[in-house]
Structure 1
Amino acid sequence: MFSYKMPCGVLHTDTQMTDTEVSFTPRLWEQRYCAVIQILEDPRWAPKIKSVIDFGCSEMKLFQLMRRIETIEKILEVDIDEDVLKKNVLFIKPLVADYVRRRKRPLHVDVLQGSVAESSQELQSIDAVVALELIEHVYDDVLSKIPTNIFGFMQPKLVIISTPNSDYNVIFTRFKPLLSNGFRHHDHKFEWTREQFKSWCLEIVDKYPNYMFSLLGLGDPPEGYTTVGHATQMVIFVRKDLLDMPLLTPLIDQSALAEIKSYKLLHSIDFPYFVDTRTKEDIIWAEVLFELNRWKINEDTYDVALQAYKMPISYLLCRTELLGATRDILDELLKENKKCVENDFILIEESDDDRSIDENDWDNPIKCEPNADHLSDHNECESWD
């Protein structure tokens, strides 16, 4: 096991219990989705997670969040219920906004009918697996095949699985009894305690030593019931090389296995994206022009004697360094384009109104406005998100 903390800190949630119900804010399914997105966007491994499979995708609500992660270039939406997939397949269709403000990288999406317990050609080379509230819906014979398929055949870098915590059921039964099958949902085949879930995870890493795991909880217990844990228990399996640790056993290519089948492809789509063919210097200069023109809206920077606005080069460097700019690059670009520089300030003449910026250069301006703070301390740049 290893200790894992969310990269953006703990989720700000609230659990309230009244005489008639227990409620979660945000709702429990939203907490699960938020946790998954934080984990996928964790800067420790986000650049290495380019493909994700969502087992048991159902209504594809999680997809609407995953599709916004720019580092992800391939998403597989998989469910055993073909009718549910056909009913919700339109939810993967790009919106008008996706054509107006295009992704920086491609995104290919497949909707597939198949089982999490069956090996398929489509599962080759998938970086991350997500299976939320899925394992409790399968019988033991299927459950026993899931680790084999995911950790033995797929061998992804990251796996996120969630399931109900049956220890928490004492809270729910205060207001209404469990269903006739003894569980929260009519289709649940089991609901594990925290110890049972932990034992299952330990068995997986014992059989597949290339992985470590960390347990998380979502849906806090109400005041006075902390011993029951969280309503949902979640596990993160991380392949050790994702954390720059050596693998204990080599990864095995099992693509030649005779029993490999193919999932049924129901729909496939590619999202629009913007291909920037400019050089790095062209991109930096476009941002420089944007900043030079925008700087003139602040009359406090106008020098009457010089009849020009004064912009600190340190500010311009701060605004463009994310694009790869250095002081040497800026000096060369300013010199090539005959911009006057004096005592580490760029002099912007009042009539100097560059309008040669391509309309595509305005797609991704860095959100940082010149203000009094910038004028008082030219070495700091406040970014807004």
Structure 2
Amino acid sequence: MATMFSPALHRQRHQFVIDFVNLNKPKKVLDLGCSECRLLKTLKFHRDIELLAGLDINGAKVKKHMHKLAPVSTDYLQPSYDQLRIELYQGSVTQKDSRLRGFDLVTSIELIEHLSLADVELFSAVVFGYMTPVAVIVSTPNSEFNLLLPGVSGFRHIDHKFEWTRAEFRSWALKVCLDYGYEVEFTGVGQAPQEQQDSVGFCSQIGVFQRLGGRNGSNALLDDEAEDVFSYTLLYSVNYPSLRDNNMLRKVLVSEVLGSAANLMSRWLEEKTTGNGDGAVPLCQTEGGGEEFLSELCMEMEEQQTVFSLVCTRRYVSVPLAVLWSCCPKVSELSGSVGNLRHLLMGNPDIKLNQDSSAVLITHQEQDQEEEGVDSDVEESGYAEASHYSHNAEQEEEWEANV
């Protein structure tokens, strides 16, 4: 049978949430009835979100799909400055838990119709009265549309306890606004044929609730109730790698410094070896017998040409931090200044600095592992090593598989 909606109706519901997120840029988002975590998996790519949480009564289903939300290798290899924490809970939307209060956005996609009418009242009190989010998106089937759905007699899903008309949904939503201090706009997804749109409305009706007073109104209510309540079970939590974490920043910076310094060294040694460089002549003999060279390496920058010096001993090439900071945009971006670059590198076991910590020392010869005078060579050359790293809110309705 041909698909009735394109894109599929569940995708349209998710896209509605995504469009809202793109426009309003909430930092904390909670999906009630997260089930297979499909919506959360899409939302994790939105850079403004710092906390992404899901709640479902079916813990087994959440556990089966929660690893879809785990960071992948590229998140660790190329972390950004964005912060993201993901938390998944098992519990009922009719119970309070203080960990899920004060979110910027709470979504309830095709959830409330799975509750008894008595539980819907508890849902209203918990979500709007206790959680006090800035915004709430609620979608639920519009029973007036059912006559257009092939193969549907009665409710759309065997677990539905009710399906509201547009008037019934509006009545519930306006009461929520009156009781808990919200305003609501009505819309939906899944359009009927043009000649029937006014008579039946959308297939899924949606209420977008905004708290009166916005974030200020929400924060004021949060301060009124200090008691902590923990009714839910935390099933999964993960922090995505972020450059705002000093340990992660140092790790990435060290990798960039080593790679950039090795690249500069290779170019400098090539000039020195081929005789194409500006200098590359012996300046002095070190006490250890190694020749010390000084070569001027011209590095073209965006609008000017700057000349830097690299120093070569028998074992090391000394790459000044000022060279790295000025010539390597990623190093400059990560460190912010030469002073901060020095501070972040000092004490790292993977980085060898000279005595005054003004340059990185890069080995440029194969070292004899059996040679006993390694450390003395470094000291005699004037360098020293620095000190040492549910409830199913988005399940496919039975009829949707066939339309």
Is the TM-score greater than 0.5? Answer: yes
1:202 aligned onto 2:179 = no
Alignment counterpart, residue 267 of structure 1, candidates 236, 239, 261: 236
Contact 1:55 1:77 in 2 (8 A): yes
Name the SS of the counterpart of 1:272 in structure 2: coil
Q: Aligned pairs, how many? A: 266
Contact 2:133 2:218 in 1 (8 A): no
What is the identity, as a one-letter code, of the residue corresponding to 2:327? Answer: S
Shift of 1:360: 5.8
Alignment counterpart, residue 213 of structure 1, candidates 159, 181, 184: 184
Alignment counterpart, residue 188 of structure 1, candidates 156, 160, 163: 160
Name the SS of the counterpart of 1:145 in structure 2: helix
1:142 aligned onto 2:119 = yes
Whole-angstrom distance in 2 between the partners of 1:273 and 1:36: 25
Name the SS of the counterpart of 1:24 in structure 2: coil
Shift of 1:62: 0.6
Q: Would the alpha carbon gap of residues 361 and 143 (structure 1) be closer, same or farther in structure 2, given more than 3 Å must change?
A: farther
Which residue of 1 is the match for residue 251 of structure 2?
Answer: none
Whole-angstrom distance in 2 between the partners of 1:105 and 1:248: 25
Which residue of 2 is the match for residue 233 of structure 1?
Answer: 205
Which residue of 2 is the match for residue 28 of structure 1?
Answer: 9
CA RMSD of aligned residues (A): 3.2
Whole-angstrom distance in 2 between the partners of 1:225 and 1:97: 49
Deviations 1:283-334 (A, max 9, x none): xxxxxxxxxxxxxxxxxxxxxxxxxxxxxxxxxxxxxxxxxxxxxxxxxxxx
Name the SS of the counterpart of 1:185 in structure 2: coil
Whole-angstrom distance in 2 between the partners of 1:109 and 1:170: 40
Whole-angstrom distance in 1 between the partners of 2:68 and 2:125: 31
Alignment counterpart, residue 93 of structure 1, candidates 70, 79, 85: 70
Q: Would the alpha carbon gap of residues 184 and 257 (structure 1) be closer, same or farther in structure 2, given more than 3 Å must change?
A: same
Shift of 1:247: 5.2
Q: Would the alpha carbon gap of residues 166 and 361 (structure 1) be closer, same or farther in structure 2, given more than 3 Å must change?
A: farther
Q: Would the alpha carbon gap of residues 118 and 276 (structure 1) be closer, same or farther in structure 2, given more than 3 Å must change?
A: closer
Which residue of 2 is the match for residue 308 of structure 1?
Answer: none
Contact 1:217 1:230 in 2 (8 A): yes
Whole-angstrom distance in 2 between the partners of 1:361 and 1:240: 45
Deviations 1:52-74 (A, max 9, x none): 11110000011122111111111
Contact 1:122 1:262 in 2 (8 A): no
Contact 2:102 2:219 in 1 (8 A): no
Shift of 1:224: 2.9
Deviations 1:259-282 (A, max 9, x none): x333101111111122399xxxxx
Percent of aligned pairs sharing the same letter: 32
Which residue of 1 is the match for residue 221 of structure 2?
Answer: 251
Q: Would the alpha carbon gap of residues 89 and 348 (structure 1) be closer, same or farther in structure 2, given more than 3 Å must change?
A: same
Shift of 1:177: 3.5
Gaps of 5+ in 2: 247-298, 308-323, 335-403
Deviations 1:90-147 (A, max 9, x none): 1111122322442422111111101111110211332211110100011122111011
What is the identity, as a one-letter code, of the residue corresponding to 1:262? Answer: S
Contact 1:124 1:255 in 2 (8 A): no
Alignment counterpart, residue 65 of structure 1, candidates 29, 32, 42: 42
Which residue of 1 is the match for residue 359 of structure 2?
Answer: none
Alignment counterpart, residue 21 of structure 2, candidates 8, 33, 40: 40
- How is 1:1-385 mapped onto 2 (pairs within 5 angstroms)? 23-42=4-23, 45-46=24-25, 49-172=26-149, 175-178=150-153, 182-209=154-181, 211-226=182-197, 227-242=199-214, 251=221, 253=223, 255-256=225-226, 260-275=229-244, 356-359=327-330
Deviations 1:339-363 (A, max 9, x none): 9xxxxxx9768x9xx9812336799
Return 217-226 or 77-86, whichever deviates more.
Answer: 217-226
Normalising by structure 1, what TM-score?
Answer: 0.62
Whole-angstrom distance in 2 between the partners of 1:97 and 1:208: 43
Contact 2:142 2:205 in 1 (8 A): yes
Normalising by structure 2, what TM-score?
Answer: 0.59
Shift of 1:225: 2.0
What is the identity, as a one-letter code, of the residue corresponding to 1:261? Answer: F
Whole-angstrom distance in 1 between the partners of 2:196 and 2:5: 15
Name the SS of the counterpart of 1:57 in structure 2: coil
Gaps of 5+ in 1: 1-19, 278-336, 340-345, 364-385
Deviations 1:187-213 (A, max 9, x none): 11111111111111100111122x111
Contact 1:50 1:73 in 2 (8 A): yes
What is the identity, as a one-letter code, of the residue corresponding to 1:176? Answer: G
Shift of 1:241: 2.4
